[in-house]
Structure 1
Amino acid sequence: MNQRWFHRRGDLARSGWESVVDAETPGWAHTGIHIAELTAGRVLPLPSGVESIVVPLAGSFSVTHTQDGETTVTPLAGRASVFSGPTDVLYVSVAATAEITGSGRVAVATSPTDVVKPTAHIAAADVPVELRGAGRSSRQVHNFGTPAALDAARLIVCEVLTPAENWSSYPPHKHDEHAPGHESRLEEIYYFEAAPVSGSRAPSDSAFGMFSTYSSPAGEIDINAMVRSGDIALVPYGYHGPAVAAPGYDLYYLNVMAGPDPERQWLISDDPAHAWVRDTWEGQSFDDRLPFTDDREVS
């Protein structure tokens, strides 16, 4: 079961991409992700029949997209690493065809749809940055692909940065039941990166965190994994969390969500056994290491 829902970097390689999750992935229907390492001169076509969000992880890129006979080239300034603050992103309409060039590491979040929304560029300066939790549960969230920030058909996308020794995706929660006003049904992809804390001499490939997912009434699932850069966890249902950054290593993950419900919204239910933890945050301050702004390189 763990092997079905958790994949190491490169295990899902296909068609020039380091990792691919899409409708061909067993048990998967509503979301997708493509990860690639690009070098100058290389061109990768983006998947078709889906709405997409192009997210530079490290480096800069250009996206050439064509819709209704008109071709546009949108540069993405990107960033030095996922720990360098928000990046500009490009939402690509399902009605467009597109290809990407550049140098660095890039993620493309996708969801199949026939609803046409306009292609949109979101500048880094316009990305809503949220500090969530408190104390050792403090984390930083970049909400560039949430309903409040982006007019998309189905996709809900954000990225979360967790300082060393902190917990995120906590309390464990689920979104696998359609309960209007209370909970929505959403598949979720976690794409991970980890790095030694800023100023550390530790090799980047030593960095890791921990991630758990466990069963709910919607289905049985069991992930308890040491996660490293490039790893992917799939959450079709079940309670997920915590994601824990090990001492000495900061943790990043990109969340891609979509589901079958008519409304595009993120509504969750905490595991009742652990929901009380939220009350302990009252009166605590955010971790003073946030927000992340450094320029370390992640590989």
Structure 2
Amino acid sequence: MTHPHTELLHLPATRPPSAEGPSTPYTVDVTPESAGWGHSSLRVLTLAPGQEHAFATGDSEWIVLPLSGGCTVTATEASGDTHAFRLTGRASVFTSPTDFAYLPRDASARIASAAGGRFALTGARCERRLPARYRPASAVPVELRGSGSCSRQVNNFAAADVFACDRLIAVEVLTPGGNWSSYPPHKHDEERPGEESELEEIYYFEIADSPAGTPGLGYQRVSPSGHGKVGTDLLAEVRSGDTVLIPDGWHGPSIAAPGHDMYYLNVMAGPGAERAWLICDHPDHGWIRSTWPDQPVDPRLPLYPAAGDHR
């Protein structure tokens, strides 16, 4: 099988600096221009202790989401109002949900970290200018989805029905080692009111090490749906820091290797008038949902409870 769009869609963590322009402070820097689409963005910023980084939000709304460590986020809106948010953050994506900050378009922002850390900036081009806001970890709903070997945990920090944005939809998914996530394969590459949303999607991966400290891996599949503009066809091995771009197509499964829990951050946005995550299951595999009521959820889940839940 050939995968003609691999270079476009699978961005490995160890990719060399671009020869087309100056280096950026981001280990991942996906923009609508670099992805060849219209809306979704993702940056991953690493700050050393005491370091800070300033950027303009431009025509996009952004969420600053700690992956490890904490920071202070300062935002000056177009009105001149300035807000400062202290993000406690977390030790890693495998330890707890996190608090986060929302930044509107047309603002100036600064991220500073006294102890250092890594921070995801999830973005989407938008029209409305919403106010800058802080959201505590205790307000992030933690959902268990699927059952049996399809069990996974979803941290719905910026799901469409949870947190108000103009275009941006973003969630975190944690999959125990050996399980299949993002399954059954599904798509959202055409606008069908009430049935399906047209959304560009970014997957950013981190894979837990083994107990001995050896790095892990996983796999991501995307196949053509017949409705997209690109005809995406990809089977990629993914490791920590890798990014897969999905402009169209059936996506899933995301497979976690046995012994290595998988984390991925989903960033979505699209042109539809309604900010909604409406999907269509692959007709050959959607039947698997009917088996879930007869199977228990993987007892390893949740990998961690919602913040403030001390079960």
TM-score (norm 2): 0.90
Question: For 2:150, which of 137, 143, 146 is the aligned residue?
Answer: 137
Question: In 2, are the aligned partners of 1:61 and 1:77 still within 8 Å (CA)?
Answer: yes
CA 292–238 in structure 1, closer or farther in 2 if over 3 Å, else same: same
* 1:147 equivalent in alignment to 2:157: no
Q: How does 1:62-211 map to 2 (within 5 A)?
A: 62-67=72-77, 68-102=79-113, 103-196=116-209, 200-203=211-214, 206-211=215-220
RMSD: 1.4
CA 47–233 in structure 1, closer or farther in 2 if over 3 Å, else same: farther
Structure 1 counterpart of 2:20: none
Task: Describe the superposition over 1:103-139 as per-residue Cα deviations: whole angstroms up to 9, x where unpaired.
Answer: 1111000011121112121100110110000011110
Structure 2 counterpart of 1:52: 62
* 1:236 equivalent in alignment to 2:247: yes
Percent of aligned pairs sharing the same letter: 46
Report the alpha carbon displacement of residue 44 of structure 1 after superposing the two structures with TM: 1.4
Amino acid of the structure 1 residue aligned with 2:243: I
Report the alpha carbon displacement of residue 10 of structure 1 after superposing the two structures with TM: 4.6
Report the alpha carbon displacement of residue 23 of structure 1 after superposing the two structures with TM: 2.4
* 1:284 equivalent in alignment to 2:295: yes
* 1:268 equivalent in alignment to 2:279: yes
Task: Describe the superposition over 1:162-206 as per-residue Cα deviations: whole angstroms up to 9, x where unpaired.
Answer: 000011100000000111110000000000000135xx1132xx2
* 1:11 equivalent in alignment to 2:5: no
Question: In 2, are the aligned partners of 1:6 and 1:232 still within 8 Å (CA)?
Answer: yes
TM-score (norm 1): 0.93
Question: In 2, are the aligned partners of 1:9 and 1:18 still within 8 Å (CA)?
Answer: yes
* Separation of aligned partners in 2, 1:81 and 1:188: 23
Structure 1 portions without partners, runs of 5+: 295-299
* Separation of aligned partners in 2, 1:178 and 1:104: 38
Structure 2 portions without partners, runs of 5+: 18-22, 306-311
Question: In 1, are the aligned partners of 2:56 and 2:107 still within 8 Å (CA)?
Answer: no
Question: In 2, are the aligned partners of 1:43 and 1:100 still within 8 Å (CA)?
Answer: yes
Question: In 1, are the aligned partners of 2:57 and 2:104 still within 8 Å (CA)?
Answer: no
Task: Describe the superposition over 1:237-268 as per-residue Cα deviations: whole angstroms up to 9, x where unpaired.
Answer: 00000001101101000000000111000000
Report the alpha carbon displacement of residue 47 of structure 1 after superposing the two structures with TM: 4.3
Question: In 2, are the aligned partners of 1:12 and 1:20 still within 8 Å (CA)?
Answer: no
Amino acid of the structure 2 residue aligned with 1:159: E
Question: In 2, are the aligned partners of 1:10 and 1:18 still within 8 Å (CA)?
Answer: no
Q: 3-state SS of the aligned residue for 1:107?
A: strand
Amino acid of the structure 2 residue aligned with 1:98: A
Structure 2 counterpart of 1:38: 47
Question: In 2, are the aligned partners of 1:12 and 1:19 still within 8 Å (CA)?
Answer: no
* Separation of aligned partners in 1, 2:292 and 2:202: 27
Report the alpha carbon displacement of residue 72 of structure 1 after superposing the two structures with TM: 2.1
* 1:20 equivalent in alignment to 2:33: no
CA 271–17 in structure 1, closer or farther in 2 if over 3 Å, else same: same
* Separation of aligned partners in 1, 2:287 and 2:273: 31
